[in-house]
Structure 1
Amino acid sequence: MPYKACIFDLDGTLADTLQSIACFGNGTLNAFGYPSIDPEEYKLLVGNGADMLIRRMLARVGAGLSEAEIKNFRAEYDRRYESRPMHLVTAYPGLQGLLSKLKSNGVKLGVLSNKPDNMTRAIVSKLYGNTPGAVRGQLPGVPAKPDPTAALAMARELGVSPGDVLYIGDSGVDMDTAKNAGMDSCGVLWGFRTEGELLEHGAKYLAGDAAALENIIDKR
């Protein structure tokens, strides 16, 4: 039987946000007197939420900030990001059509990200409208992925058991999230991390494009 539901990661999976994150990250670094980081390096800095991203950025440039200063840095990063959440953001090829087709075929859809909830909702709404039935980003008091809490809550919201869900993402964090939640995992090869990382973290499937992902979902 095909999967009853698919839960997607956002950054590097549904949305190409690399240049956007680098733009706002480097803008914030420059505002605090620090040099920019090569956008390609952000592929390894993201994935565990904005707080961890900020700390990795600051470590990368050798900044020794106090906790209060880090809080101010994060506030400035958030201000910049929230002012233009769609700046340099695009959907990956074929995914808008795929999600629409899945929904029309009765597959329930969710998006679960470690990006802050308001930014997750803004980007998903702009790129995919109301096609996903559940959308969640990082919320206070809810553990970030790979903790399974949010993934399991989303499965309940969608009305499906974890064993009927395919969790789709581009990183080891996503593959671990699926494993921890008792869901099958599919690693996408168009995102921020490598095939090797996905396999190392137990990806059940790998998809090189939207057509390959559709085949995995249909031919379970």
Structure 2
Amino acid sequence: MSDLLDPDLFGQASIAFDLDGTLVDTAPDLVRALNATIQPDGLTPVPVDDLRALVGRGAQALLERAYAQQGRVLSPDATPDLVARFIDIYQADIAAHSRVFPQVETTLARLQRAGATLSVCTNKPSVLSDLLIAEFKLTGYFARIIGPDRTTAKKPAADHVHTALGTGHRRAAMVGDSAPDVDAARAARVPSIVLSYGYSEAPAGSLGADRLLHDFGDIPGALADIWRA
């Protein structure tokens, strides 16, 4: 495979990427923080695979499922404090066991060299997104990192994708792993690519993306096919 991409095609393109489950496998650290949060309340640790599909839904969904699995109900009054504790634990060691998915950095570098504008479009709070991306030394690849607090409405709203993509591009796409990514791309009227290895609750192939891929490194070829069609 040639490392060179067509600058006429990619040089005026803007590509937004989801973060958790797309660029970085964050499930191990999120579930680690979850287990540390629930342990004082007498709950037993939850295996990563039990909650992997829920990672993209945020801290409260993870906590609610962990309590429900053990026959407990998460009190609405206790929820804000538990969520805050979870975030503090997670932020303190955000990349202890997380890893960048294979071919992510080499592919981002190829796209950037071809002139594409890259951004992150994530429902993860921006302070955590900035920290995580910096931990893996990926910040330099992205023109913008847009968490839900840096836009008017989070995914699946179109505004989130539009804010991440910016203006002045001739071609655009959204790359993610779950329904909010595909739905946001559809609302924004840009093509979407879904990666099968992510955190989708539904089978990735059922989400209705323009392309379903199994390897991050296949993204440039898929984008070229979409944009040339």
Q: TM-score, normalised by structure 1?
A: 0.88
Report the 3-state secondary structure (helix = DSSP H, G, I; strand = E; otherwise coil) of the residue aligned with 1:12. Answer: coil
Q: Which runs of 5+ in 2 are unaligned?
A: 1-8
The 5 Å alignment of 1:170-181 reads: 170-181=177-188
Q: Report sequence identity in percent.
A: 24
Q: 1:117 aligns with which of 126, 151, 158?
A: 126
The residue type paired with residue 119 of structure 1 is L
Report the 3-state secondary structure (helix = DSSP H, G, I; strand = E; otherwise coil) of the residue aligned with 1:41. Answer: helix
1:191 is the counterpart of 2:198 = yes
Partner of residue 5, structure 1 = 14
* Distance apart, 1:56 and its partner CA: 3.4
RMSD (CA atoms): 2.2
* Distance apart, 1:57 and its partner CA: 3.3
* Distance apart, 1:203 and its partner CA: 0.9
The 5 Å alignment of 1:30-179 reads: 30-127=39-136, 128-139=138-149, 142-156=152-166, 159-160=168-169, 164-179=171-186
1:203 is the counterpart of 2:209 = yes
29-38 or 54-63: bigger deviation: 54-63
State whether residues 22 and 195 of structure 2, in contact with CA within 8 Å, keep that contact through their aligned partners in structure 1. yes
State whether residues 51 and 74 of structure 1, in contact with CA within 8 Å, keep that contact through their aligned partners in structure 2. yes
State whether residues 114 and 138 of structure 1, in contact with CA within 8 Å, keep that contact through their aligned partners in structure 2. yes
State whether residues 115 and 137 of structure 1, in contact with CA within 8 Å, keep that contact through their aligned partners in structure 2. yes
* Distance apart, 1:140 and its partner CA: 8.2
Q: Cα distance 1:118–1:62, how it changes in 2: closer, same or farther (>3 A)?
A: farther
127-136 or 63-72: bigger deviation: 63-72
Deviations 1:9-34 (A, max 9, x none): 11110001111111111111112221
State whether residues 145 and 173 of structure 1, in contact with CA within 8 Å, keep that contact through their aligned partners in structure 2. yes
* Distance apart, 1:107 and its partner CA: 0.5
Q: Cα distance 1:206–1:80, how it changes in 2: closer, same or farther (>3 A)?
A: same
Report the 3-state secondary structure (helix = DSSP H, G, I; strand = E; otherwise coil) of the residue aligned with 2:15. Answer: strand
* Distance apart, 1:55 and its partner CA: 3.1
State whether residues 48 and 145 of structure 1, in contact with CA within 8 Å, keep that contact through their aligned partners in structure 2. no
Q: Cα distance 1:129–1:50, how it changes in 2: closer, same or farther (>3 A)?
A: same
Report the 3-state secondary structure (helix = DSSP H, G, I; strand = E; otherwise coil) of the residue aligned with 1:174. Answer: helix
State whether residues 47 and 173 of structure 1, in contact with CA within 8 Å, keep that contact through their aligned partners in structure 2. no
Q: 2:219 aligns with which of 209, 213, 217?
A: 213
Report the 3-state secondary structure (helix = DSSP H, G, I; strand = E; otherwise coil) of the residue aligned with 1:160. Answer: coil
The residue type paired with residue 132 of structure 1 is F
Q: TM-score, normalised by structure 2?
A: 0.85
State whether residues 172 and 197 of structure 1, in contact with CA within 8 Å, keep that contact through their aligned partners in structure 2. no
Question: Would you say how many aligned residue pairs link Structure 1 and Structure 2?
Answer: 216
* Distance apart, 1:175 and its partner CA: 1.2
Q: Which structure has the bigger radius of gyration?
A: 2
State whether residues 151 and 159 of structure 2, in contact with CA within 8 Å, keep that contact through their aligned partners in structure 1. no
Report the 3-state secondary structure (helix = DSSP H, G, I; strand = E; otherwise coil) of the residue aligned with 2:115. Answer: coil
